C-alpha cells in the first residue's frame, strides 16, 4: 500500500518527500520524562494531584495505567493533539496496592524501572513485563541495588532481562550506590525506593544525568540533596533521607526537548527553514542538544517563556526559534552523549548534513534502548548516502554529502522513525520509513506536523 507523503499506511510505513521550505510552529507533545514522573509521584502522594499538558504518547499512557493498577484513581480530564490533562487521587505511598496481575509496561523502560523502585519499598508483590523490545532491555542495574536495599528481585536470563518479579519490603535498607553507566532511570528507581528506606540513600554518578526526579520531589516537599562530584565536577551525588512523604502537586508539563530536537535539526540543516518551538523545557540536564547544535553552527534563538504558576517542578521553559544554518562537524564527548542520550540519532543526522567530520564518543548505551540505535542509525543513514563508521563506542560521520531518499527501517524504534522522516524532508527524492507507526510511542501526530511545516 502506497502512502501519501508523511502518512503512515495501515502497515505502519510512511513516505516523506523532500520539502522546498519549512515554516511554522510544530505542535509538540508534553515532556515524556516529566509526564512519567508526575504520574508516579502522584501515586506516592496522598490526595489529589493535577498534571496539565502531559505527553499523550503510548509510553505515558502505559505509566498512567500502571499507576491505576497500583491503587490510584486516574482520570483523563482533557485531550488535545499529543497532550492530555490528568487528575490523580491516591491513598499515598503507604497504601500502594498489590496488583492482581502482571503490570504491563509495554515498550516503556522508564515505567518498568521506576515502578520497580516504588514497589520495592512496599510489602507487596508485583511482576513487571512488557513487549518484545522491552524484554531485551537490561534490568540488572536496578535489580542489584534494590536487592541490596532488601527487596527480592527475580528476572529472566539470570536476573538480567524482563519480566521482573519484585517482592518489596518496608522499611528498606539505605545504601550508597555508585552507578556504572549513566542512567536517570536507574538513579530515579533507587531514589524512589529510598523514600521508603530507614536512613539516607545516596546515588553517585560519574556523569550527571537528567534531574527531573530530584526537582519534582523537592517541589513536593522532599528534601533531596544534589552536589557536583568527581575530579572534574561532571558527576553528581544525590541523597534522600527516608522515610519521606510526598505531597500532592499541580504541575504543567513543558514541551518535550527530545521531540523539539527533530525540528531543531530540520530547521538548522534545511536550506530554507524557520521554525518556532513553543514552551520547550530547557532544564540544564536536558538542553545538551541545543548547546551541541549551536557548537555545530546552528542558529537557535532562545526566549524565556513565563508560566502560570502551575509548574510544580521548577523546570525552566523557553520558546526556541531555529533557522537555516551552515553546520560543521565537531567532536561530541561522552558527557554530552549522556546528557543528550535520546537525541543522539537525530544528532547523527545533523552530522551527516554538516560539513567536515563529526566524532560522537560514548554511544554504547544506545545499544540497549528500544533497539540497537547505533546499528539502526548507521544502517539507515548509510542507505541514504551518508558515510558512517562505528568503532566500539565511537561513531564517526563524514558530512558534506547530499543525502538521497531511500528505504529505511525504524526497527520499531520511535526515535529512528522520526530521524529518518526528518532526513526525508531534506534528502533528494522520497524516503520510505518502514514501521513508522511507532512514532506515536512518544509523539502522536508527528507525521501530521511533517505536513504542516512543509505547507
* pTM, full prediction: 0.91
Residue 1 has pLDDT above 70, yes or no: no
Position 282 scores a pLDDT of 95
List the single range of 76-85, 101-110, 138-147, 374-383 with lowest mean pLDDT.
76-85
Position 182 scores a pLDDT of 87
Cα–Cα distances in angstroms (integers) from residue 444 to residues 14, 169, 294, 455, in the given order: 14, 38, 28, 19
Check: CB of residue 376 under 8 Å from CB of residue 349.
Answer: no
Strand partners, 332: 360
Q: What is the pLDDT of residues 3-27, one digit of tens each?
A: 445 656 545 799 999 999 999 999 9
Please give the backbone phi and psi of residue 269, each rounded to the nearest 5 degrees, phi first.
-90, -25
Check: CB of residue 72 under 8 Å from CB of residue 42.
Answer: yes
For the chain, the straight-line distance linking the first and the last C-alpha, in angstroms and rounded, comes to 24
Check: CB of residue 244 under 8 Å from CB of residue 213.
Answer: no
Average pLDDT over residues 44-52: 97
Enumerate the active-site residues.
342
Position 342 scores a pLDDT of 93
Domains observed in the chain: 14-29+254-454 (3.65.10.10), 32-199+212-222 (3.65.10.10)
Q: What is the pLDDT of residues 180-236, one digit of tens each?
A: 888 999 999 999 999 999 999 999 999 899 999 999 999 999 999 999 988 888 899
- Sequence-ordered list of residues with C-beta below 8 angstroms from that of 280, at least 6 positions apart, any chain: 28, 254, 255, 256, 257, 260, 317, 318, 319, 320
Position 231 scores a pLDDT of 81
Amino acid at each position: 500500500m502506497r502512502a501519501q507523503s508523511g502518512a503512515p499506511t495501515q502497515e505502519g510505513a510512511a513516505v516523506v518527500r523532500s520539502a522546498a521550505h519549512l515554516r511554522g510552529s510544530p505542535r509538540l507533545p508534553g515532556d515524556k520524562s516529566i509526564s512519567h514522573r508526575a504520574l508516579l509521584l502522584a501515586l506516592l502522594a496522598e490526595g489529589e494531584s493535577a498534571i496539565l499538558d502531559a505527553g499523550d504518547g503510548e509510553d505515558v499512557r502505559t505509566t498512567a495505567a500502571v499507576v491505576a493498577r497500583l491503587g490510584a484513581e486516574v482520570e483523563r480530564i482533557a485531550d488535545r493533539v499529543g497532550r492530555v490533562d490528568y487528575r490523580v487521587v491516591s491513598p499515598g505511598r503507604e497504601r500502594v496496592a498489590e496488583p492482581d496481575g502482571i503490570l504491563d509496561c509495554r515498550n516503556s523502560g522508564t515505567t518498568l524501572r521506576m515502578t520497580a523502585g516504588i514497589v520495592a519499598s512496599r510489602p507487596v508483590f508485583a511482576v513487571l513485563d512488557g513487549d518484545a523490545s522491552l524484554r531485551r532491555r537490561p534490568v540488572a542495574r536496578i535489580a542489584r541495588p534494590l536487592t541490596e536495599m532488601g527487596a527480592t528481585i527475580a528476572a529472566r536470563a539470570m536476573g538480567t532481562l524482563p519480566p521482573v518479579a519484585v517482592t518489596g519490603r518496608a522499611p528498606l535498607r539505605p545504601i550508597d550506590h555508585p552507578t556504572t553507566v549513566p542512567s536517570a532511570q536507574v538513579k530515579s528507581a533507587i531514589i524512589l525506593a529510598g523514600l521508603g528506606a530507614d536512613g539516607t540513600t545516596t546515588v553517585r554518578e560519574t556523569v550527571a544525568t537528567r534531574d527531573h526526579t530530584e526537582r519534582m520531589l523537592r517541589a513536593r516537599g522532599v528534601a533531596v540533596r544534589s552536589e557536583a562530584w568527581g575530579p572534574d565536577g561532571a558527576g553528581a551525588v544525590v541523597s534522600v533521607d527516608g522515610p519521606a512523604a510526598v505531597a500532592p502537586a499541580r504541575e504543567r508539563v513543558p514541551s518535550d526537548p527530545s521531540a523539539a530536537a527533530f525540528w531543531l535539526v530540520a530547521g538548522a540543516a534545511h536550506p530554507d527553514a524557520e521554525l518556532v518551538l513553543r514552551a520547550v523545557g530547557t532544564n540544564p540536564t536536558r538542553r545538551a542538544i541545543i548547546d551541541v547544535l549551536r557548537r555545530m553552527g546552528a542558529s537557535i534563538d532562545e526566549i524565556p517563556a513565563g508560566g502560570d504558576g502551575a509548574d510544580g517542578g521548577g523546570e525552566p521553559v523557553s520558546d526556541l526559534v531555529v533557522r537555516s544554518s551552515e553546520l560543521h562537524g565537531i567532536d561530541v564527548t561522552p558527557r554530552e552523549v549522556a546528557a543528550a542520550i535520546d537525541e543522539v540519532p537525530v544528532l547523527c543526522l545533523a552530522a551527516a548534513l554538516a560539513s567536515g567530520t563529526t566524532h560522537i564518543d560514548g554511544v554504547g548505551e544506545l545499544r540497549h534502548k528500544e533497539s540497537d540505535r547505533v546499528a539502526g542509525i548507521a544502517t539507515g543513514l548509510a542507505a541514504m548516502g551518508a558515510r558512517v563508521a562505528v568503532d566500539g563506542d565511537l561513531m564517526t560521520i563524514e558530512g558534506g554529502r547530499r543525502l538521497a531518499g531511500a528505504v529505511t527501517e525504524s526497527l520499531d524504534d520511535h526515535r529512528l522513525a522520526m530521524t529518518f522522516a526528518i532526513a526525508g524532508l531534506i534528502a533528494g527524492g522520497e524516503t520510505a520509513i518502514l514501521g513508522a507507526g511507532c512514532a506515536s510511542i512518544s509523539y502522536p501526530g508527528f507525521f501530521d506536523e511533517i505536513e504542516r511545516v512543509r505547507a
